[in-house]
Amino acid sequence: MAPVNPKIVRCPTCGGDSVYAQSNPSRPFCSIRCKNVDLGAWANEEFRVPTEAPPEDVSYGDAKLQ
């Protein structure tokens, strides 16, 4: 059963209104275009998950070999 007044959220890409309900397969985006723009930004590494840089003296590679 669909809600009478579906929740309206801000589209993360364009900032427009987006219906947050099963009727919108692109949710939380307003359209497939905005969804693909966001995906492209992740693929181009425009967005990154913040991490701490490892210490300079730590070697990399297979942990079994260290």
The pLDDT tens digits of the residues spanning 9-49 come to 999 999 999 999 999 999 999 999 999 999 999 899 888 77
Reported pTM: 0.63
Angle at 21 between CA 20 and CA 24, to 5 degrees: 85
Q: Which domains does the chain have, with CATH numbers?
A: 1-46 (3.30.50.10)
Instruction: Say whether pLDDT at 60 is over 80.
Output: no
DSSP structural state of residue 33? H
C-alpha distance across the termini of the chain, in Å: 57
Which pLDDT score, from 0 to 100, does residue 14 have? 95
* pLDDT bracket for residue 1 (50, 70, 90): low
8 A C-beta contact, residue 48 and residue 39: no
